[in-house]
Structure formats: C-alpha cells, structure tokens
Structure 1
Amino acid sequence: MKLYYIPTTRAVRPRWLLEEMAIPYEMVRVTMAMTKEPEYKQLHPHGKVPVLVDGEATIFESAAICAYLADKYLDKGFAPAPDSPHRAYYYQWLFYATATLEAPVEHFMFNILPNLPEKLLPGFIRSETSKQESYQWFQRVSEPVKEALHGKHFLVGNSLTAADVVVGGILLWAKKLGMMQPDDSLTEYIDNLMQRPAFNRADENYYAQVPVHSE
C-alpha cells in the first residue's frame, strides 16, 4: 500500500488515519515537479495529492481514501458497521466536511496565501470572496459541527472515526490559518485531536508558520 503525500496538504488526512489504524504503508513524498509528470497524471488526473495505491485500486480524494480504509479495515473501529444506526451520521459528516465545511476555509486560505499552486481554481474565483466574508461563511457552516459535538469528544458514537479525521483535518487548517477564536467551542475538540500521537506523526509540519499576506 502506497500513499502519495505532500506535507500540510489534504494528504495528511489519510496518513493520519493510517497511523491511527497502525496499518503498514509506504509513504511516497511528492514534489510539485513530480505532479506535472505524465506518469503522475496516471495516478491523479489533476496532478494533486493524496493518492492511495492499494493493489489494483488507485484512489484519489482524501475523504474517499479515508472512507475506503475505514471500511477495508472495519475491525479497527474507524467506521460504524453497515447495519449500525450511526452509519448514517458517519456518511453525513464525511460529505458535509468536503461539500460544505471546507469551502470557506479554502477561500480564506487563498486570501492570505494567494500564490498557492492550485491547479483547478481560476484566479478570479479565488479572490471573489474576501477574507472577512470567508470567515463569516466559515462561522455559519461550523455551527452544525459545534451542535453535534456538544457534550461529546467525537462526531459519531463515542470513538474516533474517519469522519473526525476529515472534519478535524479541515478544522485544523482553520485553526492554523487564524480562523478560530480562543473561546470557540470547537477549540477543545481540535486540541484533543492535536494531542493524538498518530496526528503528530502524520502532520509533522502543522506548527510551521503561515506567512500572512498583507492586503
């Protein structure tokens, strides 16, 4: 099993899950130059990370990789059983994370890091939402997550699942970018995730400074 990886990207999420599950894997560190090569485009059509190669399966999209791993190793407990009532909420948060929660964080990121080598998003779309608008957007879409976590440590059931890895990975980006207030009720959730040894093994560059772009 190979994971194609660049630090501080979405590739941290499946690496984090692999570390939590204690599954042997080979990490292939990718450079931006590698992503432009035709051979790499055979793995990911847009030359991005992560990519997981597991036997005959070659998968991209971080949430899809996490869902695949959690189901393949269901006995590890990172996904509810298919017949569990928790399964519906697990799906809900996996999809909410990438379809709704991540968008304002990405827009905010492009405002303070405008030179990111994003391959798909046109420049005019990057800048059409201001930093303040992105922040307000994030505050709105993070409210359901806060409500779901009220009095709980994890989103689904009483244990960490792949949904926490994906949602948590997005919130960790938000925290690093300065979108989280110290009194935000999500801070405890994020801090608990950051204390996990598997997270620290997976995201060794989390504490690297974010260069702030002055407008």
Structure 2
Amino acid sequence: MTDTLTLYTNPMSRGRIARWMLEEVGQPYETKILGYDGAMKAPAYLAINPMGKVPALVHGQTVVTEVAAICAYLADAFPAAGLAPAPNAASRGPYYRWLFFAAGPLEAAVTDKALGVTVPYDKKMMAGYGDFATVMDVLEDALSVDGWLAGDRFSAADLYVGAHVMWGLQFGSIEKRPAFEAFAARLAERPAHRRATEIDDGAMPDQAR
C-alpha cells in the first residue's frame, strides 16, 4: 500500500506507543500533533475520531483509532516488517491473546488501581480482569519465559504489552518485579523505541521536560 500514513498524536499520550509501532514498521509517515487546548475536540478532528482523543492513524482512506488496533493494523498492513505471525501460524493465537490482554484486563486493572477502585471480592466476576493481583501474576508468568510472547520473534504484541509495562514501571502503577524490569530493559534497547522516544521527547512542551 502506498497511501500516506498520518499519525495524529500528542507526546504526552498513548500516541507514543503508536509512534513506536510506526518506527518499527519503517514506512514514511506524517505527524500532526494536537494539543490539549481544544484541538482534539475541534470539528475537523472529531470527524476523524469522534472520541476526541489521540492517537488516530489515517492510512489513505482508512482511519484506525485505539492503540491496540493501530498496532494490529500496521502489523498486517506492512507484513514485510515481520511484526505479526502469519494468519495460519500457531503463534497467531498467543499473539492475539497478549495483544488484547493488555488492551483489556491489564489496562483496566492498572487504571482502576490508579483511581483507587477496588473490586469487592463478591463482584470479581463482574470485572473483566478479576483483580489486580491476578493480572500481575499472569503477566509475570508470561514475561518470565525465554523468547517473546508469540514465539521466538518480537511482534506487535510484545510492543504493546511492553509499552504498558514500561509506562507502569516509570510511574509506579505497576510494581517492580524482575520479569517486568528485564522485559522493559530488552525493549528499551530496540532502535525503533529509541528513535520514537527521541522524537516524542523533542516534541514535549518546555514546561513538561
């Protein structure tokens, strides 16, 4: 596909994950930075993402929002980057599993904890993640094995899960465990992550640096 890739983002948002994914893909893309001054609620952008938040990816006539969806879309749109197992590969199951584990149970559990929300014991079945401790233990087990989450090759699932882990460790919303820290350290060494971080850090407002 040769249509232009455009990322709508803000360096103080989940758009950092989408940029990292774009850097892994290695295709040229444009960036449009929207501020939290009302630009995300302007009619022109609401036509792209009615939620009025970033990131959003526009690829030709295709619009993709939600970071996990952006990662999955880019991995499939540019298969030469090798960021997703083949559709008929056995590793496709674990790839989907962990990509959406992070988008669902992990993010919900971490957000609730940050907001001071504790799910009552008798209501755990109502919460998609059950409880925070279970989510952390399951994640730790997954990151304690050799290789990557979907086999022996880095994929978009590692990127998306890893971004949550790195963010959580940085801001204290995920407790420090050896498996988490080791996984984050591996990802921090990736050239695409370094490039994306440098770009977004350079776009931060002066008062936030």
- Same fold by TM-score, threshold 0.5 exceeded? yes
Structure 1 residues 181 and 95: alpha-carbon distance in aligned structure 2, compared to 1, 3 A threshold: closer
- The percent identity for this pair of structures is 38
Q: Does 1:49 align with 2:67?
A: no
Aligned to 1:203, the other structure's residue is in SS state helix
Give me the whole-angstrom Cα distance separating, in 2, the residues matched to 1:138 and 1:66: 25
Q: Name the residue aligned to 1:5.
A: 9
1:44-81 per-position Cα deviation (integer Å, ceiling 9, x unaligned): 11100110000010110110011010001112110000
1:28 to 28, 32, 50: 32
Match of 2:150 among 149, 153, 156: 156
Match of 2:100 among 95, 112, 122: 95
Which fold has the larger relative contact order, with Cα–Cα distance below 8 Å and residues 6 or more apart in sequence? 1
* 1:141 aligned onto 2:125: no
In structure 1, how many angstroms separate the alpha carbons of the residues matched to 2:39 and 2:142?
Answer: 40
Change (3 A) 1:188 1:165: same
Task: Identify if the C-alpha distance between structure 1 residues 31 and 48 changes in structure 2 by more than 3 Å, giving closer, same or farther.
Answer: same
Q: Deviations over 1:95-145 (max 9, x none)?
A: 111110111222344x4xxxxxxxxxxxxxxx5449xxxxxx444202222
Which residue of 2 is the match for residue 75 of structure 1?
A: 80
User: 1:189-200, aligned counterparts within 5 Å?
Assistant: 189-200=183-194
CA contact (8 A) 1:19 1:198 kept: yes
| Aligned position for 2:179 | 185
Provide the rounded CA distance (Å) in 1 between the counterparts of 2:84 and 2:166: 21
- Distance apart, 1:180 and its partner CA: 4.3
* C-alpha RMSD over aligned residues: 2.2
Gaps of 5+ in 2: 120-130, 205-209
Q: Is 1:59 aligned to 2:64, yes or no?
A: yes
TM-aligned CA deviation for residue 36 of structure 1: 1.6
Partner Cα distance (2:13, 2:134) in 1: 24
Aligned to 1:202: 196
Letter in 1 for 2:22: L
Q: TM-score, normalised by structure 2?
A: 0.81
**Aligned AA (2:172):** G
